[in-house]
Amino acid sequence: MAAVIFAISLSIIQRGIQYGTYAETINTAVRMSTGYLQIQKVGYNQAPTLQKSFELTPKILDEVKSNPQINGYSPRIQTDGLLSYRDQSIGVMVMGVSPKTEPLVTDCKKKIETGRFLAADSPKRDYNPPEIVVGYRLLANLGAQVGDSVVMLAQGFDGTLDNIFVIIVGTFKTGSDEFDRSGAFMDISDLQNFLGMGNRINALAISVRSQDDIQEVANKLNHGLRQTGLVALSWQELLPQLKQTIELDNSSGVLYIIILLAVVGFGILNTVLMSITERFREYGVMLSLGMRQEKLVLAVGLEVFFMLVLGFLIGNGIGIAVNSYLVQHPIQLGGDVAELYRAYNFAPVLVSSLSFKIFLDSSLTILGISVVAAVYPLWRVLKLEPLKGIRYT
């Protein structure tokens, strides 16, 4: 029974941490960049360009607003540019976002390190330069300070190069070295005016109430948006590298579980076989007194069955307790371990999951292993002869 308890509890804890870390990593990644889904022009994801833009029509908004699984949405523009301050110039990726609706989709506003995020309701005046929020590493590399005015150079919607003065109102720190080094946010209306895009946008970022609903929401949107030249893409299509990293790590986790189950399977076989063979004399006596062989096998089988049930209950109980604790108290990793996690695009935190699938899969797998391991000992009982059992040493 100890082997069953050990196998189930360890399997649940290990898979719980894996699934919990994946969910946290996905949530962190999409809440800092793409959102769970995006509506884009067909082909934009493969070759982003300002020309693959679209206007946010009432039909698109109706498709989004009518879906109760969608939690929020926000328009986006993305373009490459050059920020210059004194004699320093650095290439940047500028994200045009709506300060009012962006917090519904991403956590950019929560990642402000110094200064503030873009003002949502500040009055627009012609003599005020547009605001920009940059990564803290980008600000350091520019040698500028919050409050300084810098020049931004970018190619407009019509292909011409243009420049504009922008004022740095804050810096953000996301934990992504690349984005902190080259990312910047501007009010989408300011960026539309600067690039000459009118009301056009590159993408509509969408958040959902549950990660489990992502594919279903994408299918519904694609059904409603057919013949519009637009497509709804999930985060798996927007962030393929993250998806591949998770799949690779999950494969190593499955291999670990297979090795664990093989060891535990032999342990269960050995335990059941020993507990049965050491009572062969008792079985031999019972058979000599007239007990039918099938009833003896049934009795031994029920004994093994109740042992497994008790092991399942205790193992699942331990798994629930440990996973619940890790859900409530995630372990923040630091130092070199945290850097290693970031290098593989994982959030540096150990958090678990209480998904029913984890408990069901672990219990059914151990049940299968246990049943297979119990077959041979029960077969030995079925073939036991009364005299051989009595004389068994």
pLDDT of residue 348: 73
Q: Distance between CA 119 and CA 96 in Å, rounded? A: 13
What number of other Cβ atoms are within 10 A of residue 280's Cβ?
A: 18
Q: Is residue 39 exposed (0-12), middle (13-18) or buried (19+ Cβ within 10 Å)?
A: buried
pTM for this predicted structure: 0.71
What DSSP letter does each residue of 73-126 carry, written as one string?
A: EEEEEEEEEEEEETTEEEEEEEEEE-TTTGGGT--GGGGEEEE----SSPPP-T
What DSSP letter does each residue of 237-248 carry, written as one string?
A: HH-HHHHHHHHH
Amino acid at 348: P
pLDDT of residue 97: 93
Query: How high is the mean pLDDT of the chain?
Result: 85
Structure-token pair, residue 142: 């520019």
Cβ partners under 8 Å of residue 104, min gap 6: 71, 72, 73, 74, 207
Q: Distance between CA 392 and CA 388 in Å, rounded? A: 6
Q: Distance between CA 79 and CA 76 in Å, rounded? A: 10
Structure-token pair, residue 370: 């246990």
Across the chain, which has 393 residues, the per-10-residue mean pLDDT values are: 79 86 80 86 90 90 91 92 92 92 86 88 65 93 92 91 92 82 92 92 91 89 88 89 82 80 78 80 82 83 83 88 89 75 68 85 82 83 79 66
Q: Distance between CA 92 and CA 83 in Å, rounded? A: 7
pLDDT of residue 344: 63
pLDDT of residue 185: 94
8 Å CB contact between 210 and 355? no
Terminal CA-CA length for the chain: 25
Q: Distance between CA 3 and CA 81 in Å, rounded? A: 61
Of 308, 306, 288, 286, residue with least CA distance to 296: 286
8 Å CB contact between 249 and 344? yes
Q: Distance between CA 387 and CA 63 in Å, rounded? A: 79
